[in-house]
Structure 1
Amino acid sequence: MSKTRFAATLLDYLRKAQESKIEKEKTVYRQAIVKRVSILDLKGNIVVIAEKPKAAKKIYEALSYLGYGKVYRYSNIPYWVIKKGVLTITITPAAGHLFGLDTDERGYPVFTYVWKPLYMIEKDASHTRKFIELLRKICSNGDYYINACDYDIEGSVIGFMVIKNFGDVNKCYRAKFSSLTKTELRQAFNNLTSLDWNMVEAGLCRHELDWIWGINVSRALMDSVYSVSGKRIVLSAGRVQTPTLRYVVENNIARNLFIPLPQYTISVSILVGDMKYQLEYKGPLIETRRQAEYIRDKLRESRVLVVEDYREDVRKLNPPPPFNLGDLQEEAAKIYKFSPYKTQSIAEKLYLSAYISYPRTNSQKLPPTLDYRGILDNLAKIYQYNALVKTLLQETRGVLKPVQGPKEDPAHPAIYPTGIIPQKLSSDEQKIYDLIVRRFLAVFAPPARIAHKTIVLKPLTINGNISFQLTGQKIVYLGWLRYYYFHKPSEQGAPTLEVGEKVRILSVSIRRVFTKPPEKLSRIKILRWMESNNIGTEATRARIIELLFKRKYLKSTGGATEATSLGQGVIEVLTEYFSELTSVELTRKFENYLEEIRIMKRRREEVINEAKKTLLELLRRFDEKKKEVGLKLAWRLGIMDPPEKCLLCNREVYRENLCIYHFKALEALKEMYSEWRRREGVNWEQYVRELAKLKSTGKWVREVIKEIIMRKI
């Protein structure tokens, strides 16, 4: 059959299947009873849908004890058949999402859409066609269907769409598991539940929200550019990606407009016996050199400090909780400089090989039903963990009670090693696996104990609350740090002193420091921001960040993540004219709606209707400003020149021959001059030349200073 004919036949098949099942599904959606059955209770042809071929193979290996099994291939895609009497189990893989939303309508707003095979929508999804052909063939002969895709809303949708289009959702069950070990898979298939409609509905709603948001706003942006330039430029916006991009843009703006302020601290070293110690200044902020010189001179005159407070204590340092995905991504970024997406991809590979549990989880808790001792005994068979496991069992006397974190996930526990011994891991895979194993060991270990000394010293000749501090610490008991050593505290010595004792000042100096700009962003900091604002999911956050790079909205500069001129331009326009589209609040509201669907407190239809209503109003306002929006975007894209260009860049003039950012930089320079003059006693020329030398001075401020020095401003 030709590709064109196959596509037409398939679409017709899907349409008829959808129409014939609509009434049946309405009945099923209302079911609230969760039936638990074993796969052995079923008769006839059972079709098991796995999310990917590797997962399908693991399921086959777990169920092969049931009867005679054999692997078959369709266009080089493996599927497995197990026969036992009147029972035939066919385990067939998907390739992740096989269906997506599409429309034949042009323009915007567009709210009419259908689910289609993904290869008909996306060019790079051509490989999914063979999977769809295979699943259609296998499902057509099914008596029962089991969704054995990952137990999250994405996996629920993947399996549901296959069964809905090629099988029968009224004869469907759900397999729930958190790892691909034989034990857990067998348990899952002996405790099948009815279809997880709540998860399916939440997943379908997320897809629909993302689609109607993305296609309408993206088309509106592209149409605005076309209306003024006649050029078709690909632009995109999204329900989650746009607020995330705005966060990066706002950070960039703050950094580029930053003007550091000078302040002072006093550096003092003391001599105790024959040991020299450096003290930390703990007094009030010293804003002027004159204040700093007064304190320095008084200390030099006195030559001694007196011990005002001396404390020794031993503090417990409790073990960290087991990993959820965000924690794992953060640790891998800190220790190995891995991007969140890379860490997630590696963790998913380890999961598909059954080496770790399901990684896309928010949970920091391990279930009491997990065989902790069995996992440890298996880990002990790996040479590098053998001694650690033995020590852990001695320290705990075999009583294995894990530290539990506050975060929970209704679907999966925290990430843990399954105990299956890995084979042929790459260097990067080994690093992630090692992090997970060591963290797992650490959660059972006792707290570390750290001996602390805190010494507060006061000058004799200065009134006020000026003081200096010396701290020391030493690890007296490693505890969990023996297993998870990546954050072992640095040890530093401190003398033993008594309150009232005088110590000799060895040296005193003034150190000028400067206020710091907002911190540079990294991929992991952006991901953590998304988490803290409850936008996106464990599965999607890292992917959204990478999408912003792919769209050329973000770039990496010297290890930091910054917005490109295009990314900044898109946010400028959307924030100025339609700030709701970039707001965290609106995105978070719909994320909360999705969670309410999952817990059956809200219906998908009402959420989609509210989203359509919101978008219609925003797009109506957009159309009123379409030309203004199009011009600004065309200027940012460099496909049209503004009537007047900024003296320092290609942006349009805002005021005084400067764009809005360079104008703001100039205004900030003028505003901060009086404070610099008060603190440093400098004139205008000295002020700008000082700022020009400082690396922390914002980029736009430095550019304005350069022109000031050249007498152009």
Structure 2
Amino acid sequence: MTGLIICEKPNVAKKIAEALGKPKKKSHNSVPYYELERNGEDIIVASAVGHLYTLQEKEKTKFGDYPVYDIEWVPASTLDDKKYIQKYIDTLKKVSKEASKFYVATDFDIEGELIGYHALSHACGQKNAHRLRFSSLTKKEIIKSFENPNQIDFGLVDAGDSRHKIDWYFGINVSRALMQAVSSAKRWKTLSTGRVQGPALAFLVDKEIEIKNFIPTPYWVLEAVLDNNLKALHELEKFTDEKRAKEAYEKVKNEKEALVTEIKKTLKSIPPNVPFDLGALQREAHNVFRFSPKKTQEVAQKLYEKGYCSYPRTSSQKLPDDKAYMDEVLKNLSKNKEYSKYIELILSEGRKPVDGKKDDPAHPAIHAVDVPKENLPDDELKLYELIARRTIALYLDDAKREYSKISLEINGEPFKLNGSRTIEEGWHELYYFTKFDEIELPTLKKKDLLRINEIAFEEKETKPPKRYTMASIIKELEKRTLGTKATRADILEKLTKRGYVIDDGSLTVTELGIGVTETLRKFCPEIVEETLTRDLENKLELIQDKKIKKETVIKETKDKLTKILGEFKLKEKEVGNELVEKLDSTNRSMQVIGKCKCGGDMIIIRTKGKKRFVGCSNYPECEITFPIPQKGRIKVINEVCKTCENPIIGLDSIKICVNPDCKTRISEEDRKEMEKAALEEKSCPKCGGKLSIKKGPYGVFRGCENYPKCKYTEKLNGESNEKEVIGKCPKCGNDLLKRKGRFGDFIGCSNYPKCRYTEKIEKKKEGDLEDKIEVTKEKVKAKETLKSEKNLDKTLDNPKPKRTKTASKKKKEELKN
């Protein structure tokens, strides 16, 4: 008897084969599969590559025809970019002929069940099989699932089949309707929406409109600046009554001392963060590493397939209940020396982990299961560290934090100083990604007098609500039950790809995104309302639980969509004109950064080679061009340089004039230094290469010719751009560096965030920092024993691009259209 195990991915097949025995690797048409023997049974382990089958129309219809419902599952190899899939289908067909017993070992969720069933039924010709279910690719769990299999869950299969069909009906038909409308206005643009995409974009649009319509209101802030740059805020914090604010200011403006009236200290225990579900992991990875939700999901899947983490597409916040399993996991993780001391304590005391509230019947929370046995790519290593440290921290002590409030009185007006500090690190020592504010206050007692250096009185305005970020949007989608844990990242990706949303640190909706939503709201509002998609999600769950038939839900969907699209078609041309207007507005706003001196528009132009530069829309009559950095996020901010009257653009977190010769980019001092520097040759102190003069968005500098292998840079006067090393950290032995923070200069460890050691730079007198630095150097000189970390500032060097007449003419024609 021969058994065939069908897996979802080739590397998972390899893992399963190695766990069950000593496999022999074989291949068919370059597709690997494995043969082994276990307990007298011959076993073949083969794999799919995700979905082997896709939905297509049975008969191709014309572009303008909609709605279309006559679809079927066909091999995904029929798609141009999926030709390779046919080899996997052929391999499964071949090995299935040798098998008399079948196992499905794809991921345990809706998509996995559907992938496995399609491979089993279409490629292998079978209607049922044993089902292996596991949440991590550890040897113990694979063997356990193989020895205790159950059956395919046809409720999951039907729910998956229905979801794909319903999403196809919405996505294809409504997208066709939008593009046909644009076509009726004699234009072409790829537009799309979908069952979840439409409502998701709609609430982003609502936020954008709320921001645009926001009317700021004034308020006043009163602060007393004390010694050591301590800032005491008036107890009211924000004055909304101007008269009351001015009265308070008049009372305190000439006062020189503040009286301490009360000191309150509160000790709080901060428990460890609960285990990761997929949404929480996506949010944390975005906050810490700026990973997109899509990237986090992909990297987490790789870690799972390599056997280092558990299955990522879960909504659970609870670790497995099996203590023996978790003890084995912890022992595996203790192979990492950084983790071992914590794990020894956990195991010796039999500690239990912290759990969250959410549960998932399919999978536990995301947790690390083993240490990497090879050097992981940087992104995988970052995410692994995040997951592994979170897993272990769940067992550790609460962090202890002290929160202080010092009440002050200045001529009868109440002020306050707020401080916070960590007393005991607890879990935070290991999981240092969570940020704590450390605001040290001086040791004071009641009736102490503090010297006032300045009274600051400022009028401010309320700010509009914040836009969603890639982290907060995931949480909002979860809250509104839009999409699934597996699909939310793809929805966001589509919104940015279609030009509906720009991710520039926060999610800004374009005029096109607003236009598509407003048009749909006007002509077929059901498409963008959350009610319809939430109702369908509920019905899909009922299909999954076998409480309703999939045929009933699919028929209801067809009937509803036919009615909606019928009404849309009656106003197709009107819809098209509105969409074209929004499309043109979006294109202009994304390209035009300001006015050229000839009267034309200065626009961002991208060449075929994906290079970018700024040029005039009146080319070839006007040949003005400016180079711009090829890396970094550019934002149109509609500002003009006061020095040279050329446009200013946003580059990541800074603003720069597009004119590289502008005095704001190159100072007079830099010009003189450039002339001197041109006369002398210098070698790189790190690698011996030649140092050349370079101009970047952040100024002029010398950089090594061997960039990017060597990233050494220095100022034209010879001063290195490397951060100043003060000495060695008394806590961990790494370099102490002079740093800048929101409260001014300070001394901090180069091993941040792993080591959070800092020292204040106490000024002897105003502006004198060097004395404290020299003292610090002497204090730590005896401890200088470990290697220095290299800290280099990255600077871009962007030569002026060449511009061809032909390419520019094409661009000009596009703009006119």
Shared fold per TM-score greater than 0.5: yes
* CA spacing shift, 1:258–1:46, aligned 2, 3 Å: same
Residue in structure 2 matched with residue 98 of structure 1 by the alignment = 52
Determine which structure has the larger strand proportion and give its number: 2
Match of 2:489 in 1: 542
Q: Report the CA distance between 1:276 and its aligned residue.
A: 5.8
What is the alpha-carbon distance in structure 2 between the residues aligned to residue 151 and residue 170 of structure 1? Answer: 18
- Asked if 1:480 corresponds to 2:427, the answer is yes
Alignment match of 1:293 (pick from 232, 246, 250): 246
1:446 lines up with 2:397 in the alignment = yes
Q: Aligned in 2, Cα 1:316/1:207: closer, same or farther, shift over 3 Å?
A: same
Which of 301, 311, 323 is 1:358 aligned to?
Answer: 311
2:451 and 2:406 map into 1 onto residues whose CA distance is 14
Give the corresponding residue for 2:577. 631
Question: 1:329-367 CA deviation, whole Å, 9 max, x = no partner?
Answer: 111111111111111111111111101111111111001
Would you say the 8 A contact 2:282–2:296 is kept in 1?
Answer: yes
Residue in 2 that maps onto 1:521? 468
What is the CA–CA distance in structure 2 between the aligned matches of 1:45 and 1:259, rounded to whole Å? Answer: 73
Amino acid at match of 2:222: I
- Preserved CA contact (<8 Å) 1:634 1:640: no
User: 2:2 touches 2:42 (CA, 8 Å); kept in 1?
Assistant: yes
* Alpha carbons of structure 1 residues 278 and 85: separation in structure 2 relative to 1, 3 Å: closer
Q: Residues 646-694 of structure 1: CA distance to partner in whole angstroms, max 9, x if unpaired?
A: xx99xxxxxxxxxxxxxxxxxxxxxxxxxxxxxxxxxxxxxxxxxxxxx
Shift of 1:169: 4.7
Superposition pairs for residues 379-418 of structure 1, below 5 Å?
A: 379-383=333-337, 385=338, 388-394=339-345, 397-418=348-369
1:332 paired to 2:289: no
Structure 1: distance between partners of 2:478 and 2:11: 30
Alpha-carbon distance in structure 2 between the residues aligned to 1:165 and 1:276: 72
User: Counterpart in 2 of 1:217?
Assistant: 174
The letter for the 1-side match of 2:169 is I
Q: Distance in 2 between matches of 1:574 and 1:185?
A: 49
Secondary structure in structure 2 of the residue aligned to 1:485: coil
Aligned to 1:142: 99
Q: Which moved more, 1:547-556 or 1:187-196?
A: 547-556
The structure-2 alpha-carbon separation of the partners of 1:564 and 1:277, relative to structure 1 and needing over 3 Å to count, comes to closer
- 1:114 CA drift (Å): 0.9
Match of 2:75 in 1: 117
How many angstroms apart in 2 are the aligned matches of 1:118 and 1:395?
49
* 3-state DSSP of counterpart to 1:400: coil
* Alpha-carbon offset, residue 382 of structure 1: 2.1
Match of 1:252 among 196, 204, 208: 208
Instruction: Give the distance between the partners of 1:224 and 1:478, measured in 2 at CA.
Output: 60
Residue-by-residue CA offset, 1:111-160 (whole Å, 9 max, x unaligned) = 2211111122x321111111112222223443222111111111000011
1:257-656 superposed matches below 5 A: 257-270=213-226, 277-283=230-236, 285-287=238-240, 289-300=242-253, 307=260, 309-370=262-323, 371-383=325-337, 385=338, 388-394=339-345, 397-458=348-409, 461=412, 467-496=414-443, 505-557=452-504, 559-638=505-584
Q: 1:488: Cα distance to partner?
A: 4.3
Distance of 1:460 and 1:116 partners within structure 2: 81
Partner of 1:30: none
Contact 1:442-1:483 at 8 Å conserved across structures: yes
TM-superposed CA distance for 1:174, in Å, is 0.9
Q: Secondary structure of 1:476's match?
A: strand
Report how far residue 306 of structure 1 moved: 5.2
Maintained 8 Å contact 1:389/1:441: no
1:229-244 paired onto structure 2 within 5 Å: 229=186, 231=187, 233-244=189-200
Cα distance in 2 for partners of 1:545, 1:565 equals: 17
Matches of 1:392 and 1:314, distance apart in 2: 27
Matched residues in 2 for 1:170 and 1:156: separation?
13
TM-fit CA distance, 1:442? 0.6
Deviations 1:426-475 (A, max 9, x none): 1111111111111111100010111222223355545xxxx422222222
Alpha-carbon distance between aligned partners in 1 of 2:346 and 2:444, rounded to the nearest angstrom? 35
Letter of the 2:218 counterpart:
P
| TM-score, structure 2 normalization | 0.68
CA shift, 1:320, in A, is 0.5
State the shift of 1:82 in Å: 2.2
* Matched residue type, 2:437: S
Change (3 A) 1:84 1:62: closer
Which residue identity does 1:598 align to in structure 2? Q
The equivalent residue for 1:23 is none
Give the Cα–Cα distance (whole angstroms) in 2 for the partners of residues 406 and 86 of structure 1.
45
> What is the DSSP-based 3-state SS (H/G/I as helix, E as strand, rest coil) of the residue aligned with 2:349?
coil
> Quick one: higher RCO (CA 8 Å, sep 6+), 1 or 2?
1
Which ranges in structure 1 are unaligned for 5 or more consecutive residues?
A: 1-43, 642-647, 650-694, 696-713
How far the C-alpha of 1:532 sits from its partner, in A, is 1.6
Structure 2 CA distance for aligned equivalents of residues 620 and 110 of structure 1: 12
SS at match of 2:402: strand
1:629 shift after superposition: 0.9
Change (3 A) 1:265 1:639: closer
Q: Distance in 2 between matches of 1:477 and 1:636?
A: 56
Deviations 1:241-290 (A, max 9, x none): 1222223333333334444332211012346xxx6631123317423554
TM-superposed CA distance for 1:518, in Å, is 2.1
Letter in 1 for 2:574: E
8 Å Cα contact 2:251/2:411 also seen in 1: no
Q: Distance in 1 between matches of 2:237 and 2:403?
A: 25
Cα-Cα RMSD: 2.8
**Count of residues paired in the alignment:** 586
Contact 1:359 1:415 in 2 (8 A): yes
Deviation at 1:308, TM superposition (A): 5.2
CA distance 1:640–1:223, shift in 2 (3 Å):
farther
Deviation at 1:551, TM superposition (A): 2.5
Give the superposition deviation at 1:238. 0.8
Report the alpha carbon displacement of residue 85 of structure 1 after superposing the two structures with TM. Answer: 8.2
Structure 2: distance between partners of 1:358 and 1:105: 39
Q: Is the 2:477–2:483 contact (alpha carbons within 8 Å) kept by the matching residues of 1?
A: yes
Shift of residue 369, structure 1, vs aligned partner:
0.6
Instruction: Give the conservation status (yes or no) of the 8 Å contact 1:378–1:421.
Output: no
**Displacement of 1:374:** 2.5
CA 1:101/1:493 → structure 2, altered by over 3 Å: closer, same or farther? same
Query: Where in structure 2 are the equivalents of 1:41-190 lying within 5 Å?
Result: 44-64=1-21, 69-83=23-37, 87-103=41-57, 104=59, 106=61, 107-120=65-78, 122-167=79-124, 169-190=126-147
Shift of 1:213: 0.9
User: Structure 1 residues 187 and 640, CA, compared in 2 at 3 Å: closer, same or farther?
Assistant: closer
**In 2, Cα distance between the equivalents of 1:429 and 1:448?**
28
Contact 1:573 1:633 in 2 (8 A): yes
Identify the range of structure 1 (536-545 vs 372-381) with the bigger mean alpha-carbon deviation: 372-381
